[in-house]
Amino acid sequence: DPLKMMSNAGNFQAALKAAYPEMSDDDLNKKFENTARSRDLAKRVYLEQIATTKGNFEMPLGTVAGINLMKVSNGDYEKYEKFETEIFQPMHQKEVDAGIRGNWGLLRYILPVGSDVYATHITVDMYKDYNQLFNGGATDGPAMSKDQIRKIQEGLDSRDLKFKYMATLIRTTKTIQHAFKTITHHCCDHKCHQPYCLGTLLAFSRSLSNIRR
């Protein structure tokens, strides 16, 4: 619901008191102020999920996610999203079904927008651990036809892979399902001939706005 999302729906103060019922209002305010001073909220991104693979991936501790930031010109949105959903999503689904991938998803920026925005789309690759990531990436798939290779290259040319984050799930709670710690990142330009560098790391089944680094 975009209206709820943009209006910060939910009673945060009630949630805070429910989490720390024995703490006074003054102590709660001090704790919250200390938390705010401990970090810099550098950027907030609102996203719409466009596509995701099907499956029952539960995201165990140790889950590895590759977060790929893509920049697409406004005129190429439809072309790029069609490329991801018609070419790569079926390939990723086969990997999920074969047990060599956890999940994949495609998300589009709602906000911020504008020519200076760093990215317009995000793809996320998910694996239950690094063992699945590297072993899956080493598995040879069926040979591709020249037409398939041409379509893949056209799709790759429709976007610029600006940045890749690698993250590992280090803890969960009942309300925070994505407590990811960024451990490394990888850069690539749009000339890369692989679908994604580091052996595709695919997607959240939930909104990336729930990530806590």
Evaluate the CA torsion angle 123, 105, 178, 111 in order and state its sign.
positive
Domains, the chain, in order of start with CATH, read 43-186 (3.30.70.100)
- Position 200 scores a pLDDT of 30
Q: Are 180 and 65 in contact (CB under 8 A)?
A: yes
Q: Are 126 and 117 in contact (CB under 8 A)?
A: no
- Position 158 scores a pLDDT of 87
**pTM, full prediction:** 0.71
| CA-closest candidate to residue 50, choices 123, 1, 117, 111 | 123
d(CA 107, CA 73) in angstroms, rounded, equals: 15
Instruction: Tell me the backbone φ, ψ of residue 72, rounded to 5 degrees.
Output: -125, 135
CA dihedral 168, 207, 41, 177 (to 10 degrees): -50
Longest Cα separation, the chain? 68
| CA 107 to centroid of chain Cα atoms | 8
Condensed to tens digits (0 to 9), the pLDDT of residues 84-133 reads: 999 999 999 999 999 999 999 999 999 998 889 999 999 999 999 999 99
Residue 134: left (phi > 0), alpha (psi -120 to 50), or beta? alpha
Residues of the chain with pLDDT under 70: 8-10, 137-142, 174-213
- Position 140 scores a pLDDT of 63
Beta strands 178-186 and 211-212, pairing class: parallel
Instruction: Express as a percent the part of the chain with pLDDT over 70.
Output: 77
- Position 3 scores a pLDDT of 80
**Burial 161-198, CB ≥16 within 10 A → b, else e:** bbbbbbbbbeeeeeeeebbbeeeeeeebeeeeeebbeb
Residue 51's DSSP bridge partners are: 106
Q: How many residues belong to the chain? A: 213
User: DSSP label at 202?
Assistant: B
